[in-house]
Amino acid sequence: MPKFKFKAAVTVSCWTEVEAETLEEAMTEAKQRSLASLPYQPFSSPVNESWHFDNDGEPQEIESEDD
């Protein structure tokens, strides 16, 4: 049976935990962090070092890669 590959855009939210004396210090630290590994490896990067994904989006703009 043939297989077909599709791609889609998904908007997801993300989160991180920051320890800081003030909200301003926490915001500065959060802005310097990068995204964690893929969502199926949620804690390969510590929560206090990177942004983590919540898989709460829905696939949109679905199109075939076989065209």
> Each residue of 30-65: b (16+ CB within 10 Å) or e?
eeeeeebeeeeeeeebeeeeeebbeeeeeeeeeeee
Q: Report the distance separating Cα 21 and Cα 33, nearest Å.
A: 18
Residue 54 lies in a domain: yes
Residue 1 lies in a domain: no
**What are the average pLDDT values for consecutive 10-residue runs of the chain, which has 67 residues?**
88 88 94 75 61 79 81
What is the domain range of residue 40? 6-64
Residue 19 lies in a domain: yes
Domain count, the chain: 1
Residue 13 lies in a domain: yes
The pLDDT assigned to 48 comes to: 65
Whole-prediction pTM value? 0.58
